[in-house]
Amino acid sequence: MDGKPGLRERKKQRTHAAISEAAITLFLEHGFNQVSVAQVAEAAEVSKRTLFAYFPAKEDLVVHRLADHETESARVVRARSPRTTPLTALREHFLKGLRERDPITGLNDHPQILKLTRMILDTPSLVARMERFKAGAERALAQALRETADTPELTARLASVQIVAVQWSLAQDNTQRLVHGEPADDRYASAVGDAEHAFALLENGLRHLPPRK
């Protein structure tokens, strides 16, 4: 076995990508609420039944683009080096994201990304779906803290809520600046300063989170 996906799996991946691309194209052109699921299915040349097999809800056609990020903080905590605290690993990862203009940090001013961001912020059902995404990130991070640092359940849950909230707040601040026209390169230094300040505040309150064993 060479580890490559089989024909059926590749076909599923192509169908998933085709539906996603058709949806995002239509949503950005006409608006999320102005496009029906039937129109997306028609543009992707699939049935509504097939579409819902890949994307159970209309909002998932947008939010799935961020799916890998839901457990990103948890993965960072699990992958950190021995004697490295969770906050140190997460701080370094966030700063790396800023340097690389990772859209999840809010510091990416590519026109299509900005347009997609505006659409999400202007659509209540997508904002609500992002809150579910945020809650999932909190649960995943809490579990990682429990498993890699023997963190008590309540401590892990409270810590994860604070960490995820800070990351989201930093990203939203960057997003708002860019949506209102500030270039990402101009925002970068301030974004780094804000992140350093935010993680310093977290460290003062969460300094007892132990390093990886």
Profile the chain (213 residues) by mean pLDDT over runs of 10 residues.
Answer: 71 92 95 96 95 94 86 96 94 98 95 91 92 94 93 94 97 94 97 97 78 72
Among candidate residues 58, 76, 99, the one where a domain is terminated: 58
The span from the CA of 27 to the CA of 58, in Å, is: 11
Q: What global pTM score does this model have?
A: 0.85
Domain assignment present for residue 213? The answer is no
Q: Domain residues for 42?
A: 7-58
d(CA 213, CA 210): 8
Using the 3D structure, point to which of 38, 58, 78 is the last residue of a domain: 58
- For the chain, the domain total comes to 2
Q: What is the CATH number of the domain that holds 50?
A: 1.10.10.60
State the Cα–Cα distance between residues 124 and 72, nearest whole angstrom.
25
134 and 30 fall within a common domain:
no
* Residue 118 domain-assigned (yes or no): yes
Residue 1 pLDDT: 46
pLDDT on residue 150? 85
- Residue 1 lies inside a defined structural domain of this protein: no
N-to-C CA span, the chain: 36
CA distance 113 to 54: 23
Residues 12 and 114 occupy one common structural domain: no
DSSP string, 88-141: HHHHHHHHHHHHTT-GGGT----HHHHHHHHHHHT-HHHHHHHHHHHHHHHHHH
Query: For the CA atoms of the chain, what is the radius of gyration?
Result: 19
Tokens found for residue 32: 């999320």
119 and 197, same domain (yes or no): yes
Candidates 117, 92, 123; CA nearest to 103 is 117
